[in-house]
Chain A
């Protein structure tokens, strides 16, 4: 596991190690540049990708557009998932207990978001509903094809952010869930691991 800011690369070959070093330094600069630090960081190394997530919706709202997870590039390479450690948490000044862990369901494609299977039918979900992992929560229609939107995780619906029949872009937040206690830790704090590419 690599701590933020130390820039000590995992040795997985010189080139990969050098790349990870560069990435960690860039990451440190990035994290320091935000008023509210991210709660979750994913780093992929090889074709370079840095993903930062702000778990607190209020904090995300303050940041505006930059609060969306920043994916700087993509690549099918080794994933090194960073686990927030206690020193990091205090450095980032998360006071008191962590806020309820929220999950954002995002549009996987461009199109029009619908709340119900068809006009006049009951909505898939309303705020307050409990949903199971894989449960359909909406539709994004694109080029006459209805694409089901499913909850990636179980939870309770907090808010439906897009109106029925409104256009959405790729990655746009659609529905927020609060994760149920017990599942929170496993989902929000994945164990650090190295996946082979």
Chain B
């Protein structure tokens, strides 16, 4: 029985977790850096512990500080949110050693699925289709040969990567070695692990991911797919459910494959399996698994009526899944836009600074997940996500119109602070997107500006 949870994260997701804890009567402890001393989660949580200076390395990535804070505050469990340590098997192990519940799958499952190459291999063995590519990390020479076998374009990925980072698309063989080396050193810097894998790159694909919920006794359900094809350099900007592009029968086949994948590895908790659907052939391929709650989880919540953090907590302490597949009903369409403090006119340069005015949208079927307030300093130390705006409607056109209305009334102003709001409205207005026939190439090929290369 979890009675006290330490929230090992910051920003909007930390507040999100604190809110569900409040609804469940679970005591929450927010850990924070000195930069986040006055942040929304610190105000919302029951207790707080300052764990370090602004640098993420010394605060939100500081395992010893986080676990120590859990122990001194008497927490039963640690919720890692997304990013930071959420997919780090080491902290999951340390929690297990110290009698703390870590909200996530077992450490060995996390380690397996967190290794992109190992995950591909495990899923292939479970019968899931995967793109041609490596199933282990590859050194440069092997990678060069393999890329030739796969055929260009290929995508080079950090084995230990996540969040769309540490990847490079290579269109021509002469560019391969340089891309390999720079990805390797970026990976070493970002993830402390320079190992590389590669696979065929699909230029025009649909990013379809399946939300899964599993308990420790093998019960599992899927909560539908999300279409996250609107990406800029593999960073998601907008997500929606259901997918406008794939028919329900294909979505069901992909979901079934994902469930087979969770069963094969003994997955427990909330997780998302990501797939690419080839825009031309309609074939689908597993690409990666995320062992955590995702940024875009609200769209699934809006169509299913299920609080996913609540569901996470229910299965975390060994609880049985009471939800059956037939209980999962989806209704309507939900869309989410990520509002980042970035300047689309300067290649999406992050624009930290002091927010002087912050007026989020409201109205029917509009949800805003944000930690931002007027007077808040957007720190350069952390990612630039300011707010997520989610709209729901009975059909997609209404949901998109509603999103455009919501983005139009959103006001964020501060010296030097830019947002991606207007750029997102351009996405919404793009004919391919409106018709729901867009692919992962939409933003990079159709909406990029001359400076954005």
Contacts and interface: CB of A to CB of B under 8 A. Distances in A.
B185 interface: no
B415 A170 contact: no
Nearest to B54: A74
A71 B64 contact: no
Given A22-B415, A142-B65, A47 B50 contact: no
Contact of B53 (A71, A145, A169): A71
B34 A112 contact: no
B65 A112 contact: no
Contacts of B51: 110, 169-170
A185 interface: no
Contacts of A110: 49-52, 65, 68-69, 72
Given A74-B53, A169-B50, A47 B380 contact: yes
B54 A73 contact: yes
B72 A170 contact: no
Contacts of A75: 380
A37 interface: no
A109 interface: yes
B379 interface: yes
B65 A109 contact: yes
Given A72-B377, A73-B54, A171 B65 contact: no
B35 interface: yes
B85 interface: no
A26 interface: yes
A27 to B, nearest CB: 11
Interface in A93-120: 109-112
A143 interface: yes
A85 to B, nearest CB: 26
B381 interface: yes
B43 to A, nearest CB: 12
A68 B352 CA distance: 23
Given A74-B381, A110-B51, A26 B34 contact: no
Pick from B65, B73, B416 the residue with the most CB of A within 10 Å. B65
Contacts of B37: 65, 68, 70
Interface in B13-71: 34-35, 37, 49-55, 59, 64-65, 67-69
Interface in A158-197: 167, 169-172
B380 A71 contact: no
Contact of B35 (A68, A74, A172): A74
Given A72-B35, A110-B72, A112-B72, A170 B55 contact: no
B354 interface: yes
Contacts, number: 69
A25 to B, nearest CB: 9
B381 A73 contact: yes
A48 interface: yes
Contacts of B73: 167
A13 to B, nearest CB: 16
Contact of A170 (B53, B377, B379): B53
A121 to B, nearest CB: 22
Nearest to B59: A170
Contact of B72 (A26, A72, A111): A111
B68 A142 contact: yes
B381 A142 contact: no
B55 A22 contact: no
B50 A74 contact: no
A72 B354 CA distance: 10
A20 B403 CA distance: 38
A47 to B, nearest CB: 5
Given A22-B415, A71-B34, A71-B35, A111 B68 contact: yes
B386 to A, nearest CB: 16
Contacts of A74: 35, 53-55, 381
Interface string A64-91: 0100101111110000000000000000
A129 B35 CA distance: 34
A73 B65 contact: no
Nearest to A25: B415
B235 to A, nearest CB: 22
Nearest to A168: B72
10 contacts: A48-B352, A48-B380, A65-B37, A73-B377, A74-B35, A109-B52, A110-B69, A111-B72, A142-B65, A171-B50
The 9 closest A-B pairs by CB, nearest first: A167-B72, A74-B54, A169-B50, A142-B68, A110-B65, A71-B34, A143-B64, A170-B50, A169-B49
Given A74-B381, A170-B53, 16 more contacts: A26-B354, A65-B37, A68-B37, A73-B352, A73-B377, A74-B53, A109-B65, A110-B49, A110-B72, A111-B68, A111-B72, A145-B64, A170-B34, A170-B51, A171-B34, A171-B50
